[in-house]
Amino acid sequence: MSAFPDYLLKLSVSLGVIALFYHLVLRKLTFHDSNRHFLRFYSMLCFLIPLININHYIAPEPTPARTFVQSVPAITRIAAPEYPGFPPGFPGKPTEASEPWIPTFAEWIFYLWLAGAALMTLRLLGHVRSYLRIRSQSRLVSHDDGVKIFHFDLEMSPFSFGKAIFYNPHLHKPDELQDMILHEYIHVQQWHTLDVIWSEILCIINWFNPFAWLIRSAIRQNLEYIADQKVLENHPDTKAYQYLLLKAAVGPEFSLVNQFGYHSLKQRFVMMNKNASPRVLLACFLFILPLLTVTLAAFRWDVPGKGKKVINFYRTPVEVSKRKPKNLLHMAGLLLDETGKPIAGLPLEVKHDDIYIKTIKTDKDGFYFAELPVKPEKGITHRYSIGFEDPEHFLSFHTGEEYHGGFDFGESFMYYFIRKRAIPELLNHSYSIDSKSFYDRYDPSETREELKAYLFANLAPHQKEMDLRVSYINTHRWSKDVITLYKGGYFDRKKQLVGYEGELTLFLDGKRATPREINEAFKNYPYFLNESQEKRNWGPGNFCTEITYLTFPIYRDAPPAALIKGNVQMIDAKSFDPARLKNEPYLLDGFRQVYGASSNLIPEKQEVKRVMLLKGQLARYYDPSLREIWWIETRPVNEVFERPDFAAK
């Protein structure tokens, strides 16, 4: 069972690679059939990638490889292994029926996943039930070439599922129905329902993973691109077809079927107006192969070669002292409350691969220490953990190390600040300290005493940071500011420390700003800012290096014609100098360019095709604070995002 969380993690990362590659590289290409095969094949392949350990194929000599998952784990408790080399008092097996069974952390993860998957399955069954109810209320009017056509009286957009097409003949004119039925016939002919069902299964298994939902959306949208493309091959008027899509979008959206008038109409319109991508760009599909190679490498423990550096998603590898004992694991740290007082006498369970070994207690200074014998086993990873749970007193503590013949992280010793009061804004915080400098000088016969002294000698900066967090929360109970500078630290509206003065730079609408300027800009906004208003760039230590705030949107829908008249000045593109855009606001091909929140591109002079100066109410439509803003186009008119109808000026 302990391998199950690792499998879910690796599956999530694999799906993330596929989703990001599609959205960053393939989404804007017009190879819709190829994109369909890509999304379907690689999303399925992601379930196999976590099971592959490339050490078996590329290692020049036997190495103690770490294996996350040998196979999909069975849903059973793990039998307790024997512990060769453990000192007397360490149990080899748990006593049968002597203690009540308490689920391990890995088991809780599995049960949580199972509950979510069950709810998602019920959701899918609910959609199936709705479809069957609609089908039972519909009338079969045609059954040609294996395709069934049904009429119903519901106010819904036409849709198809499997080999059946459904529509309400009273809602649409005969000439409109021809295009609608052709669109749905393409879904039926190419078996798009299989892709839809796969996307639902993908989200049942990965209900917690936003990348799975992103792939689901991409699959559904790409199917509509395919059907639209086939219809337009024989359609004389693209605009008329787009108006038909808008008109047909009536009634509720039905997520289980291919529905004519839904699935991101705006993006479908943009794709209809795009020129066909050059076939040479098919080579882009090959770029996924090196990404998958890197992913496979990241899922193994040791990379063959001198030094054996580690690619890992949990922590950055550190140099290990040559004096570090190879057959012993030292797990040590300080447990303190939010005020820095030690948590003394706290019983902590020591486990090996989720099997209980013994209980230790923190001393009067909150120090805990466990020395465990370890023995390498080829291709097997062991996990050693120390933990405690007391929900009644808001205490929760877990730490662990993984061993596969060596500790590549050098056993970073830990400081844990655990809140003892119910302060919602105050989170538990942990800090690590490198062990190399300790092992380079320690006396093995005095390990416990020297390690405790080493931790206390390096406690001060972490204690100071925790004191700052507590002080801010206690003194700013009703703060409504977006960002606050307090004693050298920047705190956000959630009262979390996000960076330090001198290490964090703030920007407002693309320009450096002070906290006062940012708070003034958002003084009338009572809620937490969303991603379009605040973008954070993270650095080391989980602190931000830059935060960009925006008071205007990056893009907007095309403005009403009434705003255009009299508010547009046409400029000769040949005489326009793009260098002036360094200091003046502008939109490039429909998107606002600003430092820190978008591409911030300044086009070359030869790239500029059309230039307009937007004034008055039209400029304020894009940014309420402006009287004028440049509109720059470098693409064909039909590829400019939400282009205003300048002919109406």
**Comparison of pLDDT for 56 and 311, the residue scoring more:** 56
Domain of residue 591 covers 561-648
Q: What pLDDT band is residue 181 in, cutting at 50, 70 and 90? A: confident
Same domain, 438 and 515: no
* 543 & 567 share domain: no
Q: Are residues 390 and 261 in the same domain?
A: no
DSSP 342: B
Q: How far apart are CA 487 and CA 503, in angstroms?
A: 14
Say whether both 489 and 598 belong to one domain: no
Same domain, 307 and 230: yes
- pLDDT value, residue 230: 85
The answer to whether residue 139 sits within a structural domain is: no
Q: Where are the alpha helices (DSSP H) in 299-445?
A: 436-439
User: What is the average pLDDT value for the chain, to the nearest integer?
Assistant: 78
In a domain, 389, yes or no: yes
Q: Alpha-carbon distance 452 to 435, whole Å?
A: 12
pLDDT at 59: 42
Residue 50 and residue 199 in one domain: yes
Domain count of the fold of the chain:
4
pLDDT at residue 311 is higher than 50: no
Provide Rg for the chain, Cα atoms.
30
pLDDT at 613: 95
Strands across the sheet containing 347-352: 355-361, 347-352, 382-390, 395-403
Evaluate whether residue 343 is within a structural domain.
yes
The yes-or-no verdict on residue 409 having pLDDT over 60 is: no
Residue 603 included in any domain: yes
Q: Average pLDDT in the 571-598 region? A: 89
Quick one: which of 164, 168, 122 has its CA closest to 146?
Answer: 164
Nearest to 85 by CA among 301, 321, 382, 443: 382
Which of 19-23, 100-104, 105-109, 347-351 bottoms out in mean pLDDT, i.e. has the lowest?
100-104
543 with 590, same domain?
A: no
Residue 324 pLDDT more than 70? yes
Same-domain check for residues 388 and 336: yes
106 vs 120, 182, 372, 424, CA distance in Å? 21, 50, 22, 26
Mark whether 212 and 254 lie in a shared domain.
Answer: yes
Residue 182 has pLDDT above 50, yes or no: yes
Task: State whether 584 and 541 are in the same domain.
Answer: no
181 and 259 housed in the same domain: yes
Distance of CA 342 to the CA centre of its chain: 37
Count Cβ atoms within 10 A of the Cβ of residue 164 and give its class: 0-12 exposed, 13-18 middle, 19 or more buried.
Answer: buried
In a domain, 484, yes or no: yes
The answer to whether residue 609 is domain-embedded is: yes
Shared domain for 115 and 263, answered yes or no, is yes
Whole-structure pTM value: 0.45
